[in-house]
Amino acid sequence: METVNPEHKKLRFTRTIRLDRGDPEAKRQEILEYFNNTFTIYEKLFDVINDKEAYYIKAEPLRHPLIFYYGHTATFFINKFMLGGYIKERINPKFESMFAVGVDEMDWDDLNDSHYDWPTVDEVREYRNKVRELVTKKIKEFPISIPITWESPFWTVMMGIEHERIHLETSSVIIRRLPADKVHDESLWPLCPETDFQGYDSEGNPRVNENFPKNELLDVEEGTVSTGKNDGLYGWDNEYGEHVVKVPAFKASKFLVSNYDYLQFMLDGGYENQKWWTEEGWRWNRSTQMKRPLFWVPDQVVNNKQTYKYRAFTKVIDMPWDWPVETNYLESKAYCNWLAAKTGKSIRLPTEEEWYRLRDMIKTDLPDWEFGTVGNINLEVYASSCPINKFQTNGFYDIVGNVWQHTETPFDGYDGFKIHPLYDDFSTPCFDTKHNMIKGGSWISTGNEAIYHSRYAFRRHFYQHAGFRYVESDTPVIIKDNNYETEPAAVQYLEFHYGKSYFNLENFPKKCAELAVQICKEKGIELGRALDLGCAVGRTTYELAKLGFKEAVGLDLSARFFQLAVKLKDQGKVRYALPEEGDIVEFKEIELSKLGYEDIKDRVTFYQQDVSNLDLKKFNSFDLVFAGDLIETMKYPKMLLTMIHKLLNPNGILVLTTSNNWSTKVTAKDQWVGGFKKDGENYTTYEGLSQILKENFVQIKEPHDVQYVARETARKFHFTFTQVTYWQRK
């Protein structure tokens, strides 16, 4: 390792701190030092820029210019302190709005520079000094106790610190994309001097020495991965919960894929051949017209062959062929598909759990590992990548560090995931199957990024200091839909079926199942098969099985609704964004196991079906038919009521709930069951039901009302009295 001066060593070699042990006042001082270290090294990162105009260049088209990020990490402290009620006045309201959001192509991000009147670099630097002064004051004043938990103001301080360390890395990626003449070397950021570059031969081919690291696949035994944070270190919300998975045996590449390895893919027409790319990858390929990794710089053409140099953090250097290639996920995936075809093996990227099987070979975590030996990470070695054969653990190299490693796993929360109220949009907006996990960290991954439980994800076309290793495995990668449902009607039904109770009223779909099972038991009806007509998102169907029916079938015409019921069964959870007010939402999750449905889910089936045109060959012989507030939503309710007996066994039970909310927008008036004048007198829905059903049913219990509310927003509810009637087939 290179020799560094004491000031640089203190800045670069700081490690994240434990929050669950130690003397409180000593911990206060430790956090103060960690804050100042972080604030300073972040500013030192920008010292490599030698032209203030570079702060306003949009070097990364998908992100703001660097002036935004220079101010963003400071405003984060103020905005979170305000949100937590720890301060009552802002330092600069304009900055704290301008520098608040805009980092990941979210719907609320505004990346149009014409909408911004960016301040000068000196103005932002002065602002940062004021933020440093305020945060220092608060660290000295806040009450402190050990352990430091989510509720502590010191957790918010740590949130700001670790947030700034994330941007230490992401800002370095943007700086790396600036024109080379806009940056210069700084001794704080030493480039690795080791490389295998030996020039090009007369044919334009790169020369490598005989000891060049040649990749191979090594065995990884079957094992169980158990993750979920409990280490006393600061963590983001997605790191908490529980995740236990048995991982089948697989093989993993000994090394990360090198620049030289990736060149072979390019020389074989990798960027021109659609068959190696996913559909998403090929769209990106064609739209960007990329022909090479982002940080490869075209140099001379020799014998009709393109040669390359390499853009490191602050300068362009000769191509280090034995350093890891840096790609986005889409390029990494294409390489794996190409290599699979070349070798005839089941080659792909690892899953997050497979990476953890490798990570478990390192028996320590960042605060405790031996300094500078585990990997090129936490700025403990270089300010660049280094050769792929430098840091070895149990036969594998670069399990952590050098570059992040792409995985097949979309970003998601663990079981028991909860959102921190002061940063409710850190993880959940990225639970969209469009962000994939990256693991292991890079040379500049510090703080929380460098620990065992670190969980970060980026869109698949994004670039970081990220590369990949590959695995050989026949185990299929199952990608679950982990989006948050946002369609208003679907969200209202999910909350109505599975959300909390309001105004001390029982959950209506659950209550209906209880009433139906109760009447069946009273009449001595076997709890064999139950049919839920108009099941929507399925709560009553599940409850019928949970309460004893051997089979419960749910039917609904709306694919949007019944597919959510199926998703809950197949994937074990459904998420939705519940409107609070305006654009503010609460992110919620329904879990099959917590509802007690895990053991009965195989007795529940859902189908898309028009209930006014049922397939009687498929749907018959039920002991119970339930239709909850259904007939008022149908075009032809009379058609259903005149044939509904055919769905039931003799003596089978029909339970109906009706709110009698008839509308010609839904049902033509001649199809209304009631709610009109007949022979000059009021004719109710109950009377209409009795008239239609009397030929095939006997009413077995007096009708009664059940109240329920349906939530629209936090302050808007729809209150309903529905009438429950009970019928038995003759």
For every residue of 137-178, which 3-state class applies, written as one string? HHHHHCCCCCCCCCCCHHHHHHHHHHHHHHHHHHHHHHHHCC
Across 444-473, average pLDDT:
97
Please report, in angstroms and rounded to a whole number, the separation of the first and last CA atoms in the chain.
89
Cα angle 52, 57, 60 (rounded to 5 degrees) comes to 135
Who contacts 624 (Cβ-Cβ below 8 Å, separation ≥6)? 516, 520, 525, 527, 529, 530, 531, 544, 549, 648, 652, 653, 654, 655
> Could you give all domains of the chain from N- to C-terminal order, each with its CATH number?
6-182 (1.20.120.450), 217-472 (3.90.1580.10), 484-729 (3.40.50.150)
Residue 102 is which amino acid?
A: G
If you average pLDDT over every residue of the chain, what do you get?
Answer: 93
The C-alpha atoms of residue 146 and residue 123 are separated, in whole angstroms, by 38
Lowest-pLDDT choice from 12-26, 150-164, 558-572: 558-572
Residue type, 730: K
pTM over 0.85? The answer is: no
Strands 404-410 and 466-467: parallel
> Which H, E and C letters describe 616-653, residue by residue?
CCCCCCEEEEEEECCHHHCCCHHHHHHHHHHHEEEEEE
- Nearest Cα neighbor of 605 from 618, 594, 596 is 618
Per-residue pLDDT averaged across 538-565, rounded? 92
* Token digits of residue 401: 């560090």
Q: Which of 428, 453, 465 is nearest to 174 (CA)?
A: 465
Determine how many CB atoms are found less than 10 A away from the CB of residue 425. Answer: 14
Q: Is the confidence at residue 160, as pLDDT, over 60?
A: yes
- Report helix, strand or coil for 713: strand
Residue 106 has pLDDT above 70, yes or no: no
Position with higher pLDDT, 381 vs 611: 381
Distance (Å, whole) CA 623 – CA 609: 19
Query: What pLDDT is stored for residue 365 in this prediction?
Result: 94
- Which two structure tokens, joined as six digits, stand for 220? 């990884």
Which one is predicted more confidently, 275 or 619?
275
Do 225 and 244 touch, CB atoms closer than 8 A? yes
pLDDT per residue as tens digits for the range 388-405: 999 999 999 999 999 999
Find the mean pLDDT for residues 298-316.
Answer: 94
pLDDT at 1 over 50: no
Burial state string for 115-138 with b = 16 or more CB within 10 A and e = fewer than 16: ebebbebeebeebbeebbebbeeb
Contacts by 117-122, CB closer than 8 A, 24 or more apart: 118/56, 118/65, 118/67, 118/68, 119/67, 119/71, 119/95, 120/52, 121/52, 121/55, 121/67, 121/70
